[in-house]
Structure formats: C-alpha cells, structure tokens
C-alpha cells in the first residue's frame, strides 16, 4: 500500500469522495455533514485507490482529521488503519500537539469510532466551529 499526498483531479479520487459524501448523506441529515473537499492523503495499491483522509490545520498546535474513507471494496483490510497511522505521524512531524475529529453518532459509525478509540482518541466536547449535534460525536488525541 502506497500512501501519498494527492489532489482531487483523478476519476478514482472524485469517485471515492462522491462515495464518501453519499455515505454521509445516507446516514446523517444535511446539517450534520461536515465533509472536507480538500487535497489530502490517498492510499493506493498500484493504480487502485483504496482510501483517503486529510488534515485541516485549526491552529499551529491543533489539527483536525477530515474525510477518512475506505473504498467499499477494500473495507476490513486495514486500509483505514494504515491511513490513520500515517496521518498521525504526519501531524506529529508537523508539530501539532493535538488532533481532533468529528464523526457520526449512529450505529453505522461504530467501526469508525472503534478505530479511533484503538488509536487512543477519547471523546470530547465540540471543538473549533462545531456546535453540539446529536448526529455527531467528537474525539481528540494528544500527540
């Protein structure tokens, strides 16, 4: 698996982002969707896109994990684990002291929340510009 910085110009990337946005729309009301359509890290295996994730700087010491997604044909293969480990390493190398995230609170997001828990994220209050939302769960990790 090759994890690298990529842009949103390729058809596979556009397709995965569309899948990510549709998945969010299927499980969350519009006001609870906080997807980021920015450049980010993508995981590739040869010419096949496996997943993506991004970091958004909140301030010089605090970053937000955004738009983690594994392509549907590659779920349960460790793709998200590899991307998340890489993002955390990049955040540390950048000098961030904390990384936070917003994810869904419904049962369909249990696998995502378990992944974040396994990486040491703990539940927290809304951060940055987020407000309390029954469809959102907030987590953070000291780096």
> Whole domain around residue 35: which residue ranges?
2-142
Q: How far apart are CA 28 and CA 2, in angstroms?
A: 31
Nearest to 3 by CA among 40, 55, 56, 57: 40
Higher pLDDT, residue 139 or 40 = 139
Q: Write the CATH number for 50.
A: 3.40.630.30
Give the CA count within 13 Å in the CB-facing half-sphere of 124: 19
Structure confidence by residue, pLDDT tens digits, 51-99: 888 888 999 999 999 888 888 888 889 999 999 999 999 999 999 999 9
At 65, phi and psi to the nearest 5?
-80, 130
What confidence tens digit (pLDDT) does each residue in 115-135 have? 999 999 999 999 999 999 999
* Domain count across the chain: 1
pLDDT of res. 39 = 43
Task: Label residue 46 by pLDDT band (50, 70, 90).
Answer: low
């Amino acid at each position: 698996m090759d994890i690298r910085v990529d842009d949103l110009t390729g058809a596979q990337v556009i397709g995965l982002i569309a899948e990510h946005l549709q998945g969010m729309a299927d499980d969350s009301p519009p006001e609870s969707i906080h997807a980021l359509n920015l450049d980010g890290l993508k995981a590739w295996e040869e010419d096949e896109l496996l997943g993506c994730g991004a970091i958004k700087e909140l301030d010089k010491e605090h970053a937000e994990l955004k738009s983690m997604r594994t392509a549907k044909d590659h779920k349960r293969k460790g793709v998200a684990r590899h991307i998340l480990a890489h993002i955390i390493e990049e955040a540390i190398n950048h000098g961030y002291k904390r990384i936070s995230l917003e994810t869904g609170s419904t049962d369909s997001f249990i696998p995502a929340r378990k992944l974040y828990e396994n990486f040491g994220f703990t539940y927290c209050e809304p951060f940055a510009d987020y407000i309390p939302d029954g469809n959102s769960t907030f987590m953070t990790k000291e780096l």
